[in-house]
């Protein structure tokens, strides 16, 4: 199965990267390589079986060998000078293009892989292949390597359903006309078609929003509620709710977010709440804070406030100051560690100027006795480095950014070699230096 990729609100259009070296597509944009987008780009779409990879002798110095020099013992890429590897697909059905069923279709082997290095799902059975001629020489390639394939395991072992899905799309007069059938594919089982349909609704929403009825919007909302915590479908459907704004979507997003404490859920739900009503989202979060007793819920609220980042000139000083007060109250050593880490992240991201400086310095100064680990202390350093004031330049003079605790931080780095590296990085790049959150990951 191809690696599934998680999207987050802080990297909306991030390039997708596989996490293993074995036969995985890399460097693709998820929202541009759904089955529907690949169907648009492909000149040939077939179902077929990968039967072999042939080595074709060519002149030394060939481009494919140079581009895909051998790595990871040939498991990631396996270019060989004087050889062009060609994968051979025995075609069983043709969905698009002029090839014949029963024929053997040749494509340039993905990253010049030999047969044994292909994913087991491609070696072991039939798959859908999205194919186009490359510009440089007209030779057929599978679009975006493994991303341009859909195997039977990715269709819950029902490749015919995948083929019918693509065939139905090719017959549709427009993407919006395919909307109901696309929603039918969302079975919340984590398969390729289900995830791709969710991605379409979330990130290619412009193609559907104009034609979408309220009944269809409610269907998106119902699917989001039913989605499994931590699943790709949940991530994409949360985003889709914010894009399409069904009636009741605001309350549903808040309910999902407060009940699912994953960072990705908080991140994407916060973004979608902003799409629907930013001001109402901040007010609701502050109300939820007053009622919250569970540290997991409190962590989500602080994380969300840090992501939305109330601004005095946009949301009003009352909402801004209340947020700063909540975060500041948590910047003490006795706060539960996960919640403290989220408060440190929020303090950094809120651009809180000098409001939290005294509390952050106390956390750092008392590090030998307050029971904080290096993770929390380093987070406090980063948050303190983000305490800055912008002095507006007069006339044509540029603005000046003042690091409010610069002298303190420099002295800290000079006196503590363990903290010097994080001090130096945080002073230069305060808002991109990561702090480990409650999930243990850097944010």
- Cβ neighbour number for residue 82 with a 10 Å cutoff: 13
- Cβ neighbour number for residue 20 with a 10 Å cutoff: 10
313 Ramachandran zone, left/alpha/beta (phi>0; psi -120 to 50): alpha
- Residue 401's pLDDT is 86
Distance separating the N- and C-terminal Cα atoms of the chain: 28
User: Which pTM was predicted?
Assistant: 0.89
- Cβ neighbour number for residue 371 with a 10 Å cutoff: 11
Distance separating alpha carbons of residues 363 and 369, to the nearest angstrom = 10
- Residue 26's pLDDT is 77
CA torsion angle 168 162 47 144 (round to 10): 100
Q: How far is CA 295 from CA 260, 268, 301, 312, 350, in A?
A: 13, 20, 10, 27, 21
Distance separating alpha carbons of residues 352 and 326, to the nearest angstrom = 12
- Residue 187's pLDDT is 97
Domains of the chain with bracketed CATH: 30-166 (2.40.50), 172-247 (no CATH), 330-443 (no CATH)
- Residue 24's pLDDT is 62
Mean pLDDT by runs of 10 across the 443 residues of the chain is 38 37 68 96 98 96 93 95 97 97 97 96 95 95 97 95 97 94 97 97 96 97 97 97 98 97 96 97 98 96 97 93 98 97 98 96 97 97 95 82 94 94 96 95 94
187 phi/psi in degrees, rounded to 5: -100, 0
Distance separating alpha carbons of residues 345 and 198, to the nearest angstrom = 30
């Amino acid at each position: 199965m191809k690696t599934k990729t998680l999207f987050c609100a802080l990297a909306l259009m991030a390039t997708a990267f596989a996490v293993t070296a074995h036969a995985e597509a890399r460097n693709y944009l998820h929202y541009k390589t759904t089955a529907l987008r690949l169907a648009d780009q492909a000149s040939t779409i077939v179902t077929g079986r990968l039967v072999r990879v042939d080595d074709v002798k060519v002149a030394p110095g060939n481009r494919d060998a140079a581009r895909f020099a051998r790595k990871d013992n040939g498991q990631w890429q396996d270019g060989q000078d004087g050889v062009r590897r060609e994968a051979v697909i025995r075609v069983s059905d043709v969905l698009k293009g002029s090839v014949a069923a029963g024929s053997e279709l040749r494509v340039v082997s993905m990253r010049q892989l030999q047969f044994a290095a292909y994913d087991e799902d491609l070696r072991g059975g039939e798959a859908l292949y999205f194919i186009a001629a490359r510009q440089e020489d007209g030779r057929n390639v599978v679009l975006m390597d493994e991303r341009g394939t859909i195997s039977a395991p990715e269709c819950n072992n029902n490749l015919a359903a995948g083929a019918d899905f693509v065939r139905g799309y090719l017959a549709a007069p427009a993407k919006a006309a395919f909307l109901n059938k696309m929603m039918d594919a969302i079975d919340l089982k984590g398969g390729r078609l289900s995830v791709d349909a969710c991605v379409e609704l979330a990130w290619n929403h412009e193609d559907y929003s104009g034609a979408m009825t309220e009944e269809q919007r409610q269907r998106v909302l119902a699917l989001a509620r039913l989605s499994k915590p931590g699943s790709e479908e949940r991530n994409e459907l949360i985003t889709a709710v914010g894009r399409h704004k069904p009636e009741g979507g605001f309350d549903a997003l808040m309910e999902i977010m407060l009940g699912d404490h994953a960072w990705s859920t908080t991140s994407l739900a916060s973004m979608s709440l902003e799409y629907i009503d930013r001001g109402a989202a901040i007010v609701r979060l502050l109300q939820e804070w007053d009622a919250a007793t569970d540290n997991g819920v409190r962590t989500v609220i602080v994380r969300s406030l840090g992501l939305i980042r109330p601004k005095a000139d946009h949301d009003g000083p009352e909402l801004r100051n209340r947020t700063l007060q909540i975060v500041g109250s948590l910047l003490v050593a006795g706060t539960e560690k996960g919640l403290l880490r989220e408060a440190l992240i929020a303090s950094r991201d809120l651009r809180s100027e000098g409001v939290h400086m005294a509390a952050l310095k106390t956390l750092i100064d008392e590090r030998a006795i307050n029971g904080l680990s290096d993770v929390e202390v380093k987070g406090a350093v980063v948050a303190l480095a983000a305490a800055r004031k912008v002095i507006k330049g007069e006339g044509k003079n540029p603005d000046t950014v003042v690091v409010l605790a610069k002298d303190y931080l420099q002295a800290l780095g000079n006196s503590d070699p363990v903290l010097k590296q994080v001090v130096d990085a945080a002073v230069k790049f305060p808002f991109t230096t990561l702090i480990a959150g409650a999930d243990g990951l850097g944010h």
